[in-house]
C-alpha cells in the first residue's frame, strides 16, 4: 500500500464547528498521526502554529509511541474535498521526508498548517534520536477529554453537531458570549493541583485531621519524648505536604535521568553522567521559575515540610537543597533525589551526618520509595544495604526498578532479573514479594539499545506510571493512614518508657539499675508485651532503642498516665474512623 493511499484511509472530515467568536464557521479535519515528538519542539504535531489544534491519545498510552487524533483548522472557505486534498498533500510530504515507516505517518510541520504556511521536511534520524518519546507528564496527570463521535464519518454528522451546538447556545441566551465546546472538538483540561485539591474538597477534613493530631496525639509524644527516639512532631506543613517520592540507588543507576524524563525538564543543579554526580539530597519541587533554595533556608521555611531536618545538623543541611522548576507533574508531587551510594567505608565515615537516619526520615514521610538498580550493576554495597534496612516498616511503599533494561537482550535480561531477585532476597527480610519493574528511562535512547523486549518494557513502564498517577488521588487518605501509624507507634513507645520508669529504684542504685535494664532490654520488651498485649511487630528495633537509651536518664522519664493514653485511644477508635467516613468515595 502506498503512502498516499494509507494517508487517505485515515482522513475523516468531521464537519463545521464555530470558531472562537462563535459567529464565523470554520471547517475542521480529523485524521490519525503517530506522535513521536516532545511538546513544544519544532517537530511537534503542528509546531507553533496559531491554528487550533487539540490531540487525544487513543492507543499509545503513557510512555510509548501511539496513534493520536489531531484536529487541524485548514481553512474556512474550503469544501470537504479540498480539505482532504490539502491534508493528503501534508501527509504525502511527510512520507516523502523518509518517515514512511510509521504506521500512519508523522506531521513534521514547522509553522502554520492552515493553508498559509508550507510544510517543511525534516531529518527522520534526527527526530528518532531527539524526539522519540511520548510525554510522560500527560500520562501521569489526569485529563478530562471530550472526544469526537467516532461514528462521525461525513460532513452531515458534523453539521448536525454544529446545529445542535447552535440550538443549545441560543436557547440558553448565550448570545455572543461564552460558547460550549461541541462534541467534534477536543478539550483537554488538567486536573487542579494537589494544593488546590486540599483547599477545596478536602480542606475541612485536613483541618480536622490537624486538630485531632495536635490536641490528642501530640501531647502523648511530648510527654514521653517521642522525638528523642523516633521523629519530631508533625507541623501543619508536614500534614498538608504534597505526595513525596523518594529515589534511592547506587551511583549512575538513572535516578536523576528518571526525574528529567517524567518531569520533561532538568531541575536546577542536576548533573547526569556515568560517574557519581548527585552529591546532595535534592527536593525537586514546583515553582514559578527555576531556582535553588539552600538547605538552611529550606529548613526554616514554614511553607516547606523540611523544618525537622534541623536535627541532622549543619553537616547535612549543607548537602541538602530544594530545586524548584515549573512542571505540571511537580504540581502534584515532590521528588527527592539522593546521592548515589558508593561502596567502601570512607564516604560513610566522612559524610559528617548519619546517612541511614536521614533515609529513615525521608522514608517515613514519603508516599512511594523507588529503589534503582542498573542492569549492569547489581551489587549491593554495605551502605546501600543499610539504607534498604532503614526502610523497615515501610515495605508497602517500596518499588524496585531494574533500569536500563534495554541494554541487554532478552536472554540476558532474564538472567539479570533472576540475579537481582537473588540479591534482594539476601537484604530484604520480608516474606512478601517486592514489586520489581523493568524499565528504560532514557531521555535520548542510545543507538545500541535492544528492541526485542520493547513491548514488555512499555507495559512495565505503564504500570509504574500508574503507581505515580494514583499518588495525588489518594494523598489525603494516606495522611490519615500515616497519622494512625504514628499514633500506634507513640502508644507502644509510651508503654516502654513508662515500664522502664517503673523498674527504676526510688533512691539508691539508679545508675546500676539503668545499665541492667539497657543490657536486658529484650527481656523488658517481652514484659511490656505480656502486660499490655502489644503485638511483637509493633516494637522498635532493640539495638537502635538501646543506643538511644544510653544518652538518657531513666529518672527523667514519665510514668504511665492513663488519661493521656485514653485520649489517643479515643482518637483511633472514634475520631479518625468518623473522619474517614466523610471522605468522598
Question: Which of 553, 488, 490 has its CA nearest to residue 518?
Answer: 553
Same domain (yes/no): 420, 490: no
With H, G, I as helix, E, B as strand and everything else as coil, classify residue 188.
strand
Structural domain tally of the chain?
Answer: 3
Question: Which of 243, 195, 259 has its CA nearest to residue 471?
Answer: 243
Same domain (yes/no): 399, 253: yes
What's the CATH code of the domain at 502? 1.10.268.20
pLDDT of residue 347: 55
Same domain (yes/no): 274, 343: yes
Question: Which of 423, 379, 371, 374 has its CA nearest to residue 399?
Answer: 371
Same domain (yes/no): 314, 448: yes
End-of-domain residue from the set 157, 190, 223:
190
Q: In what order do the strands lie in the sheet with 53-57?
A: 11-18, 25-35, 66-73, 53-57
Question: Which of 35, 37, 75 has its CA nearest to residue 55?
Answer: 35
Same domain (yes/no): 222, 369: no
Please give the chain's pLDDT, 585 residues, in tens. Answer: 444 333 333 333 333 334 444 433 333 333 333 333 334 333 333 333 333 333 333 333 333 333 333 444 444 455 666 666 665 665 554 434 333 333 333 333 333 333 333 333 334 433 333 333 334 444 454 433 333 333 333 444 444 444 454 444 344 444 433 333 333 322 223 333 333 434 345 778 888 999 999 999 999 999 999 998 988 899 888 888 889 999 998 888 888 889 988 888 888 888 776 655 567 899 999 988 899 999 999 999 888 999 989 989 899 999 999 999 998 889 889 999 998 876 555 555 567 788 888 999 999 999 999 999 988 888 888 888 888 988 988 888 999 999 988 888 989 999 999 999 988 888 887 777 788 999 888 877 778 788 888 889 889 988 988 888 888 878 888 899 999 999 999 999 999 999 999 999 988 888 999 999 999 999 999 999 999 999 988 999 899 999 999 999 998 999 999 999 999 999 999 999 999 888 776
Residue owning grid cell 453539521: 159
Same domain (yes/no): 308, 178: no
Pairing of strands 66-73, 25-35: antiparallel
Same domain (yes/no): 461, 502: no
Rounded Cα distance between 56 and 188, Å, is 8
**Cα angle for residues 259, 265, 270 (degrees, 5° grid):** 65
Same domain (yes/no): 227, 183: no
End-of-domain residue from the set 415, 448, 473:
473
Same domain (yes/no): 87, 119: yes
| φ/ψ of residue 417, rounded to 5 | -60, -45
Rounded Cα distance between 240 and 365, Å, is 12
pLDDT of residue 577: 93
End-of-domain residue from the set 473, 500, 532:
473
Same domain (yes/no): 322, 440: yes
Same domain (yes/no): 99, 177: yes
Domain that residue 359 falls in: 241-473
C-alpha cell at 225: 519524648
pLDDT of residue 475: 82
Give yes or no for a contact between 461 and 405, defined as CB atoms under 8 angstroms apart: no
Same domain (yes/no): 37, 174: yes
Residue ranges of E strands in 74-221: 143-145, 188-190
Question: Which of 547, 557, 562, 565 has its CA nearest to residue 502?
Answer: 557
Give yes or no for a contact between 37 and 127, defined as CB atoms under 8 angstroms apart: yes
Half-sphere exposure of 250 (CA within 13 A, CB side): 19
What's the CATH code of the domain at 400? 3.40.50.300
Give yes or no for a contact between 555 and 572, defined as CB atoms under 8 angstroms apart: no
Give yes or no for a contact between 533 and 459, defined as CB atoms under 8 angstroms apart: no
Query: How far, CA to CA in Å, does 379 sit from each of 57, 251, 385, 461?
Result: 40, 11, 10, 23
Amino acid at each position: 500500500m502506498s503512502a498516499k493511499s494509507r494517508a487517505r484511509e485515515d482522513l475523516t472530515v468531521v464537519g463545521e464547528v464555530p470558531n472562537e467568536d462563535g459567529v464565523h464557521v470554520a471547517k475542521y479535519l480529523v485524521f490519525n498521526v503517530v506522535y513521536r515528538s516532545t511538546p513544544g519542539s519544532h517537530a511537534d504535531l503542528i509546531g507553533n502554529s496559531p491554528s487550533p489544534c487539540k490531540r487525544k491519545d487513543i492507543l499509545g498510552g503513557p510512555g510509548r509511541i501511539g496513534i493520536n487524533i489531531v484536529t487541524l483548522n485548514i481553512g474556512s472557505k474550503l469544501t470537504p474535498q479540498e480539505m482532504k486534498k490539502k491534508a493528503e498533500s501534508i501527509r504525502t510530504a511527510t512520507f516523502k521526508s523518509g518517515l514512511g515507516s510509521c504506521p500512519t505517518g508523522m506531521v513534521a510541520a514547522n509553522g502554520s498548517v492552515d493553508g498559509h504556511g508550507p510544510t517543511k521536511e525534516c531529518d527522520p534520524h534526527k527526530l528518532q534520536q531527539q524526539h522519540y518519546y511520548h510525554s510522560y507528564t500527560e500520562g501521569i496527570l489526569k485529563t478530562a477529554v471530550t472526544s469526537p463521535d467516532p461514528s462521525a464519518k461525513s460532513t452531515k454528522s458534523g453539521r448536525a453537531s454544529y446545529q445542535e451546538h447552535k440550538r443549545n447556545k441560543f436557547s440558553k441566551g448565550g448570545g455572543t458570549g461564552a460558547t460550549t465546546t461541541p462534541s467534534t472538538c477536543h478539550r483537554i483540561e488538567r486536573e487542579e493541583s494537589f494544593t488546590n485539591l486540599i483547599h477545596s474538597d478536602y480542606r475541612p477534613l485536613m483541618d480536622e485531621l490537624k486538630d485531632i493530631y495536635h490536641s490528642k496525639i501530640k501531647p502523648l509524644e511530648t510527654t514521653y519524648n517521642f522525638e528523642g527516639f523516633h521523629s519530631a512532631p508533625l507541623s501543619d506543613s508536614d500534614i498538608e505536604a504534597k505526595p513525596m517520592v523518594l529515589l534511592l540507588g547506587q551511583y549512575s543507576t538513572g535516578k536523576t535521568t528518571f526525574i528529567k524524563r517524567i518531569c520533561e525538564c532538568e531541575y536546577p543543579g542536576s548533573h547526569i553522567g556515568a560517574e557519581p554526580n548527585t552529591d546532595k539530597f535534592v527536593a525537586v519541587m514546583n515553582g514559578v521559575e527555576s531556582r535553588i533554595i539552600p538547605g538552611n533556608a529550606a529548613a526554616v521555611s514554614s511553607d516547606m515540610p523540611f523544618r525537622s531536618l534541623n536535627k541532622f545538623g549543619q553537616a547535612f543541611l549543607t548537602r541538602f537543597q530544594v530545586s524548584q522548576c515549573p512542571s505540571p507533574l511537580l504540581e502534584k508531587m515532590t521528588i527527592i533525589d539522593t546521592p548515589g551510594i558508593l561502596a567502601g567505608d570512607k564516604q560513610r565515615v566522612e559524610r559528617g551526618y548519619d546517612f541511614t537516619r536521614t533515609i529513615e526520615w525521608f522514608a517515613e514521610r514519603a508516599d512511594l520509595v523507588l529503589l534503582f538498580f542498573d542492569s549492569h550493576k547489581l551489587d549491593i554495597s554495605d551502605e546501600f544495604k543499610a539504607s534498604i534496612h532503614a526502610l523497615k516498616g515501610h515495605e508497602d511503599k517500596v518499588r524496585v526498578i531494574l533500569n536500563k533494561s534495554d541494554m541487554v537482550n532478552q536472554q540476558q535480561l532474564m538472567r539479570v532479573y533472576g540475579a537481582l531477585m537473588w540479591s534482594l532476597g539476601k537484604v530484604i527480610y520480608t516474606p512478601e514479594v517486592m514489586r520489581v519493574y523493568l524499565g528504560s528511562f532514557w531521555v535520548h535512547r542510545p543507538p545500541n539499545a535492544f528492541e526485542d523486549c520493547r513491548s514488555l518494557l512499555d507495559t512495565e513502564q505503564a504500570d509504574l506510571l500508574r503507581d505515580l498517577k494514583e499518588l495525588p488521588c489518594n494523598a489525603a487518605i494516606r495522611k490519615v493512614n500515616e497519622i494512625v501509624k504514628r499514633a500506634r507507634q507513640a502508644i507502644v513507645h509510651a508503654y516502654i518508657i513508662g515500664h522502664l520508669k517503673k523498674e527504676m529504684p526510688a533512691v539508691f542504685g539508679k545508675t546500676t539499675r539503668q545499665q541492667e535494664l539497657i543490657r536486658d532490654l529484650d527481656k523488658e520488651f517481652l514484659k511490656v508485651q505480656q502486660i499490655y498485649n502489644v503485638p511483637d511487630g509493633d516494637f522498635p528495633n532493640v539495638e537502635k532503642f538501646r543506643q538511644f537509651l544510653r544518652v538518657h536518664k531513666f529518672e527523667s522519664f514519665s510514668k504511665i498516665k492513663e488519661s493521656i493514653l485514653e485520649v489517643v485511644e479515643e482518637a483511633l477508635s472514634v475520631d479518625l474512623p468518623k473522619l474517614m467516613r466523610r471522605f468522598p468515595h
